[in-house]
Amino acid sequence: MEIQGLPGRLLADLGPAIASGEIPEGTVLRTEELEERYGVSRTVVREAVRILESMRLVAPRRRVGITVQPRAGWDVFDPLVIRWRLAGADRAAQLRSLGSLRVAVEPAAAALAAVEASDDDRRALAALAVELTVTARAADLEAFLQHDIAFHATVLRASGNEMFAHLHDTVGAVLTGRTEHHLMPHRPRPYAVQLHREVADAICSGDAALAERAMRTIVTGALDELNATLD
């Protein structure tokens, strides 16, 4: 989700500051002070605060102000919250947490997709596996990233489990974060691309065990590489 205009500019400053702890929990932000500091109207401040409130990063209190909330209550699945945390000192912990989530969810989603996927889903996965191969050979990381996000989102959706499907933005955010923060190799590794083809082939053929196994190898390998890079 991209927030445009003046509210987006205000969020681009406040969000990362809160997510990084630069503005710690318990801090009270005053509407009037934000208006003056950023040179924006009360309407702009209210819109930005409304979005932060929807993420549970802040809570407006009458006669108190806009209070920054404890991290335990944040909507940690929100893609913007993920992006802001990845941009700060919390990056390593955030990536490890998201990597563990992927290990828990995506192999199960792949197994379900082998049973539940529609013909359109199967065709989409087969086509995306080809695109991943082509863009990996060309070392086009930006195109590879977009196809990778689409591939994993399609698997999650094809599982037929609405809870899994709802995580597509979360998985997309961590894949994007790995690339933006230079935690991916300059050229995607051939074995990882091959594993994506195996997932697609297994789902297309209805082989749930193979789909689960290949996806587990992808996400555990990604987490292992991440841990090795961050250590």
Whether residues 142 and 213 fall in one domain: yes
- pLDDT score of 97 more than 70: yes
Token pair belonging to 225? 């590489």
- pLDDT score of 1 more than 70: no
C-alpha neighbours within 13 Å on the C-beta side of residue 3: 20
Total domains in the chain come to 2
For residue 53, being part of any structural domain is answered with: yes
Whether residues 197 and 145 fall in one domain: yes
> pLDDT class for 184, splitting at 50, 70, 90?
confident
pLDDT score for 54: 96
- pLDDT score of 230 more than 80: no
Residues contacting 140, CB < 8 A, separation 6+: none
Whether residues 69 and 94 fall in one domain: no
CATH number of the domain where residue 195 is located? 1.20.120.530
Provide the 8-state DSSP code for 61.
E
Whether residues 127 and 224 fall in one domain: yes
pLDDT tens digits for 72-94?
Answer: 999 999 989 998 998 888 788 88
For residue 82, being part of any structural domain is answered with: no
Whether residues 151 and 184 fall in one domain: yes
Lowest-confidence segment of 9-13, 187-191, 225-229 by average pLDDT: 225-229
For residue 78, being part of any structural domain is answered with: no
- pLDDT score of 59 more than 60: yes
Domain range for 49 is 5-73
